[in-house]
Amino acid sequence: MVPPAVAVLAAVATWLTIIAIGCADENSSWVGDFVAPNPYQNFCEQLVVPNGYDCAEHTIQTEDGYILALQRVASRYNHIRDASSHPILLQHGLFMGGDAWFLNVASQSLGFILADHGFDVWVGNVRGTRWSKGHISLSVRDKEFWDWSWEELALYDLAEMLRYINLVAGTKVFLVGHSQGTIMSLAALSYSHISSMVEAAALLCPISHLGHVSAPLVLRMVGMHLDQIVVAMGIHQLNFRSDVGVRLLDMICDGHIECDDLLTSLTGKNCCFNNSRVDFYLDYEPHPSSSKNLRHLFQMIRKGTFSKYDYGYLKNMKVYGKPKPPAFDLSLIPDSIPLWMAYGGQDSLADLTDFKLTLDELSSEPELLYLENYGHVDFIAGTDAKEDVYNRMIEFFASSRRSASA
Closest CA to 200 of 187, 179, 185: 185
The alpha carbon of residue 88 and the mean position of all alpha carbons in its chain are separated, in whole angstroms, by: 17
Helix orientation angle between 216-223 and 243-253, rounded to the nearest 10 degrees: 90
Residue 54 neighbours by CB distance under 10 Å: 20
The alpha carbon of residue 301 and the mean position of all alpha carbons in its chain are separated, in whole angstroms, by: 16
Task: Considering the candidates 376, 378, 388, 400, report the single residue annotated as catalytic.
Answer: 376
First to last CA, the chain: 73
Q: Could you tell me if 358 and 330 are in contact, meaning their C-beta atoms sit under 8 angstroms apart? A: yes
Task: Considering the candidates 132, 179, 185, 242, report the single residue annotated as catalytic.
Answer: 179
Return d(Cα 345, Cα 353) in angstroms, integer. 11
Return d(Cα 224, Cα 221) in angstroms, integer. 5
Return d(Cα 178, Cα 99) in angstroms, integer. 13
> Phi-psi bin for 338: left (phi > 0), alpha (psi -120 to 50), beta?
beta
Is 179 among the residues known to form the active site? yes
Is 265 among the residues known to form the active site? no
238-254 in b/e form (b: 16+ CB < 10 A) is bbbbbebbeebbebbbe
Q: Could you tell me if 247 and 18 are in contact, meaning their C-beta atoms sit under 8 angstroms apart? A: yes
Is 376 among the residues known to form the active site? yes
DSSP for residue 149:
-
Residue 174, classed as helix, strand or coil, is strand
Task: Considering the candidates 99, 120, 227, 347, report the single residue annotated as catalytic.
Answer: 347
Return d(Cα 270, Cα 348) in angstroms, integer. 10
> Phi-psi bin for 366: left (phi > 0), alpha (psi -120 to 50), beta?
beta
Closest CA to 133 of 49, 50, 237, 205: 237
Strands 120-124 and 66-74: antiparallel
φ, ψ for residue 313, nearest 5 deg: -50, -55
Residue 260, classed as helix, strand or coil, is coil
Angstrom CA distances, 75 to 81, 247, 369, stand at: 11, 42, 27
Catalytic positions, written as ranges: 179, 347, 376
